[in-house]
Amino acid sequence: MKFKFEKKYLYWGLTGFLALAGAILFYYILFHRSNFMGGINRFITIAMPIIDGFVLAYLFTPILNMIEKKVLNPLCVKAGLSMTAKVKSRIRAGSILATLVIVLLIVYELFALIIPEIIRSVQSIIFQFPIYVDNLSNWALLLLKDNPELEATVDALINQYSTKVMEYLNTNLLPHINEVLKTVSLSVIGVFKALWNLVIGFIISIYLLGSKEKFAGQAKKIVYAVFDRKAGNELVSNFRFIHSTFIGFIGGKIIDSIIIGIICFVCTSIIGTPYSILVSMIIGVTNVIPFFGPWIGGIPSALLVLMVDPKQALYFGILIIFIQQFDGNILGPKILGDSTGLSSFWVIFSITIFGGLFGVLGMIVGVPIFAVLYAGVKSLVNRYLQRKNLPTDLGSYMTVGQIEESMTFTEYVPPLRKKGTNHSQPKQADADSETPSKS
């Protein structure tokens, strides 16, 4: 008897194998989570140069596209060159070279102009720190001189917490000084390793930029091979949406932060704020973090200025409030527009959740990530509503009480209360009503 192979048995066997493998993987993750996470962290550590390369190539791509499409391609067309494969490869090589030159020039100017000033500012702060502390103490004593009760309270708090600080130093910090030094040494080694990974990633990004269309084509080829045409089209469209959301938000936020840093430097230089370059650098860098960034950068900068000159600290605080209002109401919306489609509440929500999970990096990328998740859930909800022949606009559901079988929306009407009823006592009102409600 000839055995006839049927494809359905292969599908059943493959489905059973995948289900068993998934169950084993779930069990291992559930009961051996530390080993699993350790393996993932080790893989990420090994692959960090490649990850850095992808991130750098992704950030360099808008610059490369602008040079290629706005400069080199029009020049070749004007020169009468036909766009052969050889010419296109040379255009791409020239675009990559110009992109790297622009990026390296920006980094060089950053280190040549700003970093030395920051180093001098930090050295000045370290050398003159005792003087600044005396100035702050004298200013505080002068402020409390006319209020003996407040002065006594502040003095008691200082004595209380200074005792706790000394106790912490003697009992916790000094006995473990060797471990602290070891941690600092490992941190220094980690910084050098991160810089080395960044250098390797920079080299990898050049190869990625040179063949970015090829890699994108290979990815889409795999998508259409695995999924059917409709699902493949939807997946590719979703990835384009993710790309536009991320590049629109991250790129716009970087440009916005650079402008805010420059505005802060010009204004602080005019009003004579101490360490204007340092505080402007802090304000510009922390402005990349949405919503909380101005507070994260403004408060320590104001405290630094306060130690040098309390009057300048007041001027600086007013300036920062003005700059952030300008950024939030005028500059930010002009640059970013509606790149995320999120309300203020969801922006705060995403920063809080992702910041708690992934730290500062989570606070920066949390907004575009949540915007993508929000858009995905919204699209899924709208799809299910369309299947039920229900409207997808939000306004239809704002005041709906219930939907009838005929698909007509009935508006919610609050129950009427008798005159003189005390709304703060609902139980008494129900007891006084003539017709009790039926459940």
Please report which confidence band the pLDDT of residue 174 belongs to, taking 50, 70 and 90 as the band edges: low
Coil vs helix vs strand at 326: helix
For tokens 């950030």, the residue is: 59
Residue pLDDT, tens place only, 361-389: 888 888 888 888 888 888 888 888 888 88
Please check the confidence at residue 166 and state whether its pLDDT lies above 70. Answer: no
Q: What is the pTM of this model?
A: 0.67
Share the mean pLDDT of the chain: 79
Task: Tell which phi-psi region holds residue 302, choosing left (phi > 0), alpha (psi between -120 and 50) or beta.
Answer: alpha
CA distance 215 to 321: 46
Strand partners, 411: 400
Residue 200 has what pLDDT? 93
Query: Among 113, 123, 101, which residue's Cα sits nearest to residue 262?
Result: 113
Residue 115 has what pLDDT? 74
With pLDDT > 70 as the criterion, what percentage of the chain qualifies? 80
Of these ranges, 13-17, 307-311, 321-325, the one predicted with the greatest mean pLDDT is: 321-325
Coil vs helix vs strand at 45: helix
Lowest mean pLDDT among 69-73, 122-126, 209-213, 384-388: 122-126
Residue 124 class from Cβ within 10 Å (0-12 exposed, 13-18 middle, 19+ buried)? middle
Residue 220 has what pLDDT? 92
Strands 400-403 and 409-411, sheet pairing: antiparallel
CA distance 319 to 373: 36
Of these ranges, 128-132, 226-230, 398-402, 406-410, the one predicted with the greatest mean pLDDT is: 226-230
Two structure tokens written together for 151: 């002065």
Residue 151 has what pLDDT? 67
* Helix 310-326 vs helix 229-271: crossing angle, to nearest 10: 150
Of these ranges, 78-92, 152-166, 213-227, the one predicted with the greatest mean pLDDT is: 213-227
* Helix 212-226 vs helix 229-271: crossing angle, to nearest 10: 140
* Helix 177-210 vs helix 85-109: crossing angle, to nearest 10: 150
